[in-house]
Amino acid sequence: MIVNWYRYSSPISFYPLAGRLARVFGVLAVVFTLAGLYIGLIVAPTDATQGDAYRIIFLHVPTAWMAMFIYLVMAFWSALALGFNTRLSAMMAQALAPTGALMAALALWSGAFWGRPTWGTYWAWDARMTSTLILLFLYLGIIALRNAIDDPRRADRACALLALVGAVNVPIIYFSVQWWNTLHQGSSISLTAAPKMAMTMLEGLLVMTAGVWSYCIAVTLARVRAIIVERERGAGWVASLIAPQGAR
């Protein structure tokens, strides 16, 4: 077990594995998303109060979830990178940031367009919105910081530290705004309460979530492969990897 982890914590052995996984999750992403869209746009009935506008939920909720979840994962890899100085975990964190930013941006964008018909405004300063916005800024800050530091090793550690500081900050923002002002609706999926949503809607939501999730995994792994090649192109094994492909 331990041996396995060590084996895959080196970029050399992770590279081919990531390639295979990326392909699998890429296929899953397409399948789940198509199924989710089918359920969401065709099977699910029009809502009595909101009309068809509510269908934004099938994009909004999965992306909002992923925006938060990816940040957690990124913070986890960052902690590993800082603590154990492992190259691969820093690369994972680096690869996650753009996808996280995309998810946060999609959640904000879809939320804003949902807000227009339902609350009559694109924007309000509420807990979820504010914390999603700040999350987006944190992602962008991490990306910008990396771009601004020439030495990748130093960039790794600086970004990891920023990600961890941000990880403390996001929950604080969430609660600070919640105590101060609330407009956004609360969680409607919980394990303890009876489901409040229609069954088809829930199904569609879950399938879409699986699709978005798979997409994130596939894209991140593909990106991490690109990062490995870029960063380790001095090393022999990467050179031998690139040469035959270039010849083809």
Partner 1 sequence: MLETRSLAARRGFATLFQGLGFALAAGEALVVSGPNGCGKTTLLRMLAGLSAPAEGEICWDGASVRPFDAKLREAVAFNGHLPALKDELTAFENLAAWTTLENERADAQAIDRALADVALARRARIPARALSQGQRRRIGLARLSLSRRRLWILDEPLTALDSDGVEVLETLLAAHLEGGGLVVAASHQALPVPTANLRPLDLATVPGGSHG
Partner 2 sequence: MSPTAVPQPDAASVSAAFAWALGRDLRIALRSKAELGVQLMFYVIVVSLFPLASSPSREVLATLGPGVLWTAALLASLLSLPRLFAADFGDGTLEQIALSPRPLPALVSGKMAAHWLTTGLPVAVLAPLLGEQYAMDGTELWILAAALLLGTPILSLLGAIGATLTLGARGGGSLLALLVLPLYAPVLIFGAGAVDAVRSGLSAGPQLSLLAAGLLLALVGTPFAVAAAVRIALD
Residues 112-171 that bind partner 1 (CB under 8 A): 150
CB of 116 to ligand HEM, least distance (A): 8
Helix axes 199-231, 11-37, angle to 10 degrees: 150
Nearest to 128 by CA among 104, 162, 163: 104
Give the number of residues written for the chain.
248
CA 99 to chain centre: 5
Q: Is the dihedral of CA 237, 241, 244, 247 positive or negative?
A: negative
Nearest to 141 by CA among 109, 170, 112, 175: 170
The Cα–Cα gap between 111 and 76 comes to 27
181 interacts with ligand HEM by CB under 6 A: no
Residue 94 or residue 132: which is nearer to partner 1 going by CB?
Answer: 94
236 interacts with partner 1 by CB under 8 A: no
Contact yes or no for 205/72 (Cβ under 8 A): no
Residue 84 or residue 151: which is nearer to partner 2 going by CB?
Answer: 151
Site size with ligand HEM, rule: CB under 6 A: 21
Closest-approach residue to ligand HEM (CB): 111
The Cα–Cα gap between 108 and 130 comes to 10
Residue among 39, 58, 71, 128 that touches ligand HEM (CB under 6 A)? 128
233 interacts with partner 1 by CB under 8 A: yes
Residue among 28, 69, 143, 184 that touches ligand HEM (CB under 6 A)? 184
Residues in contact with partner 1 by the rule CB under 8 A:
150, 233-234
Residues in contact with ligand HEM by the rule CB under 6 A:
57, 60-61, 64-65, 107-108, 111-112, 114-115, 118-119, 128-129, 132, 184-185, 187-189
